[in-house]
Chain A
Amino acid sequence: MPEKILVLIGTKKGAFIVESDGKRGSWKLRGPFCEHWPMNHVVGDPETGAIYGAGGNEWFGPAVWKSDDLGQTWTHSSEGLAYAAGEEPIKAVWSLARRNGSLYAGVQPAGLFRSDDGGATWNHIEGLQHHPSRKDWNPGGAGLILHSIITHPRDEGQIWVGISSAGVFYTWDGGKTWEPRNRGTRADFLPEGQNYPEFGQCVHCLVMAPGKPDRLYQQNHCGMYRSDDGGKNWQSIEKGLPSTFGFPAATHPRDADTLFLLPLNGDSAGRYVPDAKAAVWKTEDAGAT
């Protein structure tokens, strides 16, 4: 039984930590942290025990926050977390992923950065900006946001990112070269007959199944999907769900066939839980039911 369980939460009003012992019988809420900044993603690093928060503040811009003492004290940095002079400045950090001592950060407008010193300084992974489709990427409702980062558990070169609304992109060489991986995912908002483009889909959340790096799931603006070949091809798994719209997706920590989703009633129907009944939906057979 774990000694302590921390649930890390990012909100518009700062980061929070909900804490319990291994029995999970009672919980204690701590926060808000990070000076009430809007925090889009908070992650823990099991190797070092550090907690990282991705955020952006309308006054002060983007930063990655860090706590080495489970949230008691925090520091922040955005050194190197910037595009070249003259380009549209980074507004906020939206996603974090930790792998083998490196920390990746996804930002708005969409781009990917990497830190090899625990978030103190950052380097731009420029290859994504050089993809020929970059000039044609359009922002989703909240902006052009790189909100999902998936690293391969064994091969450092392989990274998948989800960008709304540019779609899923994949690199096999650590970020130098990228290709879109959206085959089979719909873009209902495009004109009839153009609903399956190479890129431009509005992916909302991209996750990898545990122990199965080729198995990806995504919640899209237009449907829920599974891929069994690293995103080359996607199959709809929306049948049986109350809607095709939603934002989060979460895998089970050990079972590759179990996925959790939170469908909302639709992009132009209010974005509420269907019939005002909040429900997390679960599949245990990789989306078949």
Chain B
Amino acid sequence: MSNNPARSVHHVIARLPGVLIDLFPGAPRRVELPASTVKEMIDGLDALWPGMRDRMCDSRPAIRRHMNVFVDGERATLETRLAPGTEVFILTAISGG
């Protein structure tokens, strides 16, 4: 039995934006991977496609200012916890006028 329930592994689904996929040829738009927080999910994506974390996160460390990670319709942070099967949407910000 695990002594650290926070580390219990369950799978979530990451939905990646096309403009991010363009930077990592071969990466799919939908990725199922084990993670219990947004940070773990991004670490998992970076392990699959080295460098992907740097495109989504800066060195503060935090999700980049113009990247949005949505969990259950709310804008998430790296610390946001993910329930099993959660679908996480990663979107690039749109601005202008």
- Whether A and B are associated in the same complex: the answer reads yes
User: Is B86 located at the chain interface by the 8 A CB criterion?
Assistant: no
Task: Establish whether residues B23 and A89, one from each chain, have CB atoms under 8 Å apart when the complex forms.
Answer: no
Task: Establish whether residues A90 and B59, one from each chain, have CB atoms under 8 Å apart when the complex forms.
Answer: yes
Task: Establish whether residues A85 and B61, one from each chain, have CB atoms under 8 Å apart when the complex forms.
Answer: yes
Task: Establish whether residues B92 and A87, one from each chain, have CB atoms under 8 Å apart when the complex forms.
Answer: no
User: Is A82 located at the chain interface by the 8 A CB criterion?
Assistant: yes
**CB-defined contacts of A81 to chain B, threshold 8 Å:** 54
- Contact indicator per residue, chain B 8-34, by CB within 8 Å of chain A (1) or not (0): 000000000001101100000000000
**CB-defined contacts of B92 to chain A, threshold 8 Å:** 59
Task: Establish whether residues A76 and B67, one from each chain, have CB atoms under 8 Å apart when the complex forms.
Answer: no
Interfacial residues of chain B within 65-95, with CB under 8 A of chain A in the complex: 66-67, 92-93
User: Is A267 located at the chain interface by the 8 A CB criterion?
Assistant: no
Interfacial residues of chain A within 60-115, with CB under 8 A of chain B in the complex: 60-61, 63, 76-79, 81-87, 89-90
Q: Which of B20, B50, B59 contacts A60 (CB 8 A)?
A: B20
Give Cα A149–Cα B19 distance, bound, in whole angstroms: 31
Give Cα A224–Cα B59 distance, bound, in whole angstroms: 37
User: Is A47 located at the chain interface by the 8 A CB criterion?
Assistant: no
Interfacial residues of chain A within 2-35, with CB under 8 A of chain B in the complex: 35
A60-B60 contact in complex given A35-B23, A76-B23, C-beta closer than 8 Å: no
Shortest A256–chain B CB gap in Å is 41
> Which of A60, A76, A83 has the largest count of B CB atoms less than 10 A from its CB?
A60
> Total contacts A to B, CB within 8 angstroms?
46
A89-B20 contact in complex given A59-B67, A79-B51, C-beta closer than 8 Å: no
Task: Establish whether residues B60 and A61, one from each chain, have CB atoms under 8 Å apart when the complex forms.
Answer: no
Task: Establish whether residues A61 and B23, one from each chain, have CB atoms under 8 Å apart when the complex forms.
Answer: no
Total A residues in contact with B, Cβ cutoff 8 Å: 19
A60-B93 contact in complex given A78-B51, A89-B58, C-beta closer than 8 Å: no
Give Cα A84–Cα B20 distance, bound, in whole angstroms: 25
Task: Establish whether residues B61 and A59, one from each chain, have CB atoms under 8 Å apart when the complex forms.
Answer: no
Task: Determine the main DSSP class of A at the interface with B.
Answer: loop
Task: Determine the main DSSP class of B at the interface with A.
Answer: loop
**CB-defined contacts of B51 to chain A, threshold 8 Å:** 76-79
Task: Establish whether residues A89 and B66, one from each chain, have CB atoms under 8 Å apart when the complex forms.
Answer: no
**CB-defined contacts of B55 to chain A, threshold 8 Å:** 59-61
Give Cα A63–Cα B22 distance, bound, in whole angstroms: 15
Shortest B51–chain A CB gap in Å is 6
A83-B59 contact in complex given A59-B92, A77-B51, C-beta closer than 8 Å: yes
Interfacial residues of chain A within 194-228, with CB under 8 A of chain B in the complex: none
Task: Establish whether residues A59 and B60, one from each chain, have CB atoms under 8 Å apart when the complex forms.
Answer: no
Task: Establish whether residues B67 and A87, one from each chain, have CB atoms under 8 Å apart when the complex forms.
Answer: no
**CB-defined contacts of B64 to chain A, threshold 8 Å:** 59-61
A60-B23 contact in complex given A77-B51, A78-B51, C-beta closer than 8 Å: yes
Shortest A238–chain B CB gap in Å is 39
A positions within 8 Å CB-CB of B:
35, 58-61, 63, 76-79, 81-87, 89-90
* Additional A-B contact list (11), CB under 8 Å, known A60-B20, A60-B67, A90-B58: A35-B19, A35-B22, A59-B66, A61-B54, A61-B58, A78-B54, A79-B51, A82-B54, A87-B59, A89-B60, A90-B59
B positions within 8 Å CB-CB of A:
19-20, 22-23, 50-51, 54-56, 58-61, 64, 66-67, 92-93
- Of all A-B residue pairs in the complex, the 3 with the closest CB atoms, nearest first, are A89-B58, A82-B59, A60-B55
